[in-house]
Amino acid sequence: MSINERLKEIIEDKTHGSVNAFEKECNVAAGTIAKTITNNSNIGIDKIQKILQRYSDINPNWLIKGLGNKLLDNKEIDEIIDFKQKINLLKKIIERDEIIMRTKDELIESLRMQLNSLKGGSLNKQTG
């Protein structure tokens, strides 16, 4: 079974065969998936990502490679959700650390300027 045949099966399951409704649900430009199926052409990874984002119960391995079950079981869905939550937490930690690094750099620059100012002042006192 090709990816387009699996795609047709998903469309049948999710929107009772309505490609238009499926495209809308997945936030894909009208006619994109219909054209892919009609022409039996390759679907772009960006479309696959949108489909999998909209329908998180679809098994990516099944859709792309035809491996495993069509739908993920609850444990697999929970693992994906947990993984996404961990990624979001790591993104927040990175953002926080970037702010800390910028603040540290600004503080170092400010201290450098103060040090240079003090050095210049002490040189003036020594020469005067």
pLDDT digits (tens, 9 = 90+) for 28-56: 999 999 999 999 999 999 999 999 999 98
Confidence at residue 125, expressed as pLDDT on a 0 to 100 scale? 54
Find tokens 């679809």 and name the residue: 58
Answer yes or no: are the C-beta atoms of 34 and 43 closer than 8 Å: no
**Would you place residue 74 in the very low, low, confident or very high pLDDT band (cuts 50, 70, 90)?**
confident
Model confidence band, residue 18 (pLDDT cutoffs 50, 70, 90): very high
Residue 127 reports pLDDT greater than 80 = no
Q: Which of 33, 38, 87 is nearest to 55 (CA)?
A: 33
pLDDT for position 79: 83
- The answer to whether 80 and 57 have CB atoms below 8 angstroms apart is no
Phi/psi at 78 (5° precision):
-60, -40
Q: Output the pTM of the full model.
A: 0.62
Q: What share of the chain in percent tops pLDDT 90?
A: 73
Amino acid at 115: L
What residues are paired with 71 via a beta bridge? Answer: 58
Question: Rounded to whole angstroms, how far apart are CA atoms 116 and 110?
Answer: 10
Helices (H), the chain: 3-15, 19-25, 32-38, 45-54, 60-65, 74-127
CATH number for region 3-72: 1.10.260
